[in-house]
A and B are shown apart, each in its own frame.
Chain A
Amino acid sequence: MKVLVAVKRVIDYNVKVRVKPDNTGVDLANVKMAMNPFCEIAVEEAVRLKEKGVASEIVVVTIGPKAAQEQIRTALALGADRGIHIETDEEVQSLEAAKLLKAVVEKEEPKLVILGKQSIDSDNNQTGQMLAALTGMGQGTFASEVVVDGEKVQVKREIDGGLMTVGLSLPAVITTDLRLNEPRYASLPNIMKAKKKPLDNMSPADLGVDISPRLTTLKVEAPASRQAGIKVADVAELVDKLKNEAKVI
């Protein structure tokens, strides 16, 4: 079966985020970019499904500027078979991303679509669910285990208070949580091979999708910072402060 994986180019998770002085956003100039960590987990899961003989082909798709091609190449080096780059320099919000992905799903007809549960820049946690709704698919969000069995998939989900397993008929959408797997690193020979794998380029207009944003960001600020308090000498002083000064115990 064919698996579609969507990946996003974001600021590298190790980079310290700085808000622009004019409060229009986060400073991304000359900042290291990488594949969103949850998307890496999505790619890894697809590759493992292929290694198990469950997936026959892995198509990786991204939406973003020209440079986002790097993230497609990374996914190809990790084991995806071919890439689709929906190229745009505009901001693409979750609903519009889901509409673009829906157009790709209609063309490619994958049995399984795997996405990260959220990207570490906008932290929306929306696109997978929206894609599932738009394509009329069931969804297994925040997955910590995925078992494909014929025309069904069982997804163990991380929920508040524990785990919940749902059964979905295929095709279905899965979004990944942290414990689903540990992504591998790409080997040098695979990075070289990835350069020769096919990559389709298209624009949102080619897919007939209007990507005008529905949400306007008015300002972006640094979070209110907390002041460091005092150091206490010993446990007795700590308990005394908590009881008599802060009055929280």
Chain B
Amino acid sequence: MSILVFADHDNSSLKQSTLNVIAAAKAIGGDIDVLVAGENCGAVAESAAKAEGVNKVLVADNAVYGHSLAENLSALVAEVGKGYSHILASAGTTGKDFMPRVAAMLDVAQVSDIMRVESEDTFVRPIYAGNAVATVKATDSIKVVTVRPTGFDPVAAEGGSGSVEALDIVKDAGLSEFVSEELAKSDRPDLSSADIVISGGRGMQNGENFKMLERVADQLGAAIGASRAAVDAGFVPNDMQVGQTGKIVAPQLYIAVGISGAIQHLAGMGDSKVIAAINKDEEAPIFQVADYGLVADLFEAIPQFEEELKKVL
């Protein structure tokens, strides 16, 4: 078996999710090659080659791949991937965008968002917003799979010694063009891979009050998330949303503040190692999943939390 892993990156650095996907590839077993497609992405290829268990890094470095347009990426991956038994990418918005195109071009089914590998052709994935878990067997000759990064512990970023090989394949489908991008600028860790996440819900009452969480986040080196209710109410932007319709996170510590714990939110953070919840409603469903629950008014508790952290950190 041979597995092609599509690398997540921003043209300058390799994203940690790639290491999670390589871990999924290891669980399947076989030679693991990594495809880095981008523009001026040489540094990404170098770090991918150092990742544990990587055999070879294939680099397609061209302007047509610079903005991860699905039409161009899928044409590249379908051509390179033909020679492999499995094609894997993380189930982030890039993988979700181009991978189904790859599957369609190869006339094979895709298995989306796997959390576990049972065998080379059998995978476990959530359905119904995480309210059920399906074990699915793929019967096609090439398995096209997107991987939920939080389902797999990342392989080591260093220590590998893969070779790096440039690919001279330029696929410009001519169907789409990049217009613009608005990325949230933040010095905090990435929500999807942070060790600690502190999230606010409708109980925060407005966007201004999220500043309270920011101070705590900075003390803990945490990322900040939000429930869908907080996003829908316009408190914070959608890219902060944790839940089935937002980001799936599984940090070491998840702190839910003013979040009632709707099923769709639990689907996005239920795999966290430790969950702490602060809510004034003692009946809130979040307490049914929290390891540590504090029934309190968050507007009193969060400033106290900040003070207590100063004592112990």
Contact = CB atoms under 8 A, between A and B. Distances in A.
Contacts, number: 253
B294 A130 contact: no
Interface of B, helix, strand, loop or mixed by DSSP: mixed
Given A161-B184, A214-B139, A220-B127, A228 B289 contact: yes
A214 B140 contact: yes
Given A230-B293, A231-B294, A249-B312, A164 B181 contact: yes
Given A223-B126, A235-B308, A249-B313, A133 B137 contact: no
A137 interface: yes
B308 A218 contact: no
Interface in A86-124: 93-95, 98, 120-124
Contacts of B287: 228, 231
Interface residues of A, number: 78
A159 B94 contact: yes
A161 B127 contact: no
Contacts of B313: 249
Interface in B238-282: 238-239, 244-245, 247, 252-253, 270, 273-276, 278, 282
Contacts of A130: 100-101, 103-104, 110
B231 to A, nearest CB: 8
B111 interface: yes
Interface stretch (A49-57, A185-193, A200-208, A236-244): A236-244
Interface of B: 67, 69-71, 74, 92-94, 96-105, 107-113, 122, 126-140, 173, 175-184, 190, 192, 196, 220, 237-239, 244-245, 247, 252-253, 270, 273-276, 278, 282, 287-296, 301, 304-305, 308-309, 311-313
Given A95-B109, A140-B176, A234-B304, 7 more contacts: A26-B132, A133-B105, A162-B237, A217-B136, A235-B304, A235-B305, A248-B196
